[in-house]
Amino acid sequence: MIINLRGPSGSGKSYAVRGLIEHLGGGELITETVQLPDWKAPKPTQIGYLLPHDIWVLGKYSISSGGADNFHTPGAHDWIEEEVEKRARLGLHVIFEGLVVSGILGRYLALSSRLQPIPWVWAFMDTPAEECLRRIQVRNGGKPINEGHIHSKMRAGINQRMRLQEAGERVAMVPKEDPVGWLLRTLDL
């Protein structure tokens, strides 16, 4: 199974995955040598966690925002896509998220189609915009934020959900009250 958590900044994507990692005992942080397009040379990079129950989580979670956002560089989506596909084809459950990934639908929808019959869940965080804004303010020490940006991302998420539902994809809402429980239930753990 592949779970792609989606939502704007402050919606709890990284929080949910970090909670799953902690719940399952931390797993093994995997470091591999990676060459992303704008890097001058390959370098050892923490690329994800191998958790019990054959779960692969893309990205590192030692900072407040984690996941695929750790690889935010031009061309990184090719690498992210390759990693998701590689791990899924190895028979692992794959969980990935990130603000940048949340804004891109087409390429990941195509990946979902290529990976059939592996189940794919498009999981949208069910966090109101006001809560996202409050969380961002806490995280950034009270600096001013562009509230319109969050509202725009919320509208984009609604449009993505409608498009995915129309395409017959499996779409779910992740409750802000218990995102870790939702992940555990979805993975049948």
Q: What is the pLDDT at residue 73?
A: 75
What mean pLDDT is predicted for residues 36-59? 91
Name the pTM for this structure. 0.94
Q: What is the pLDDT at residue 115?
A: 97
Judged against a pLDDT cut of 90, whether residue 39 lies above it is answered with no
Q: What is the pLDDT of residues 151-181, one digit of tens each?
A: 999 999 999 999 999 999 999 999 999 999 9
Extract the tokens encoding 40.
Answer: 């001058």
Q: What is the pLDDT at residue 157?
A: 95
Q: What is the pLDDT of residues 116-155, one digit of tens each?
A: 999 999 999 999 999 999 999 998 888 888 899 899 999 9
- CB atoms inside a 10 Å sphere around CB 173: 12
| DSSP assignment string, 63-90 | SSS-BGGGG-STTHHHHHHHHHHHHHHT
Judged against a pLDDT cut of 90, whether residue 38 lies above it is answered with no
Q: What is the pLDDT at residue 41?
A: 86
Residue type, 111: L
Judged against a pLDDT cut of 90, whether residue 1 lies above it is answered with yes
What angle, rounded to 10 degrees, do the helices at 106-114 and 76-89 form? Answer: 20
> pLDDT band at 37, cuts 50/70/90?
confident
Q: What is the pLDDT at residue 69?
A: 84
Q: What is the pLDDT of residues 53-91, one digit of tens each?
A: 999 999 988 776 778 888 877 778 899 999 999 999 999
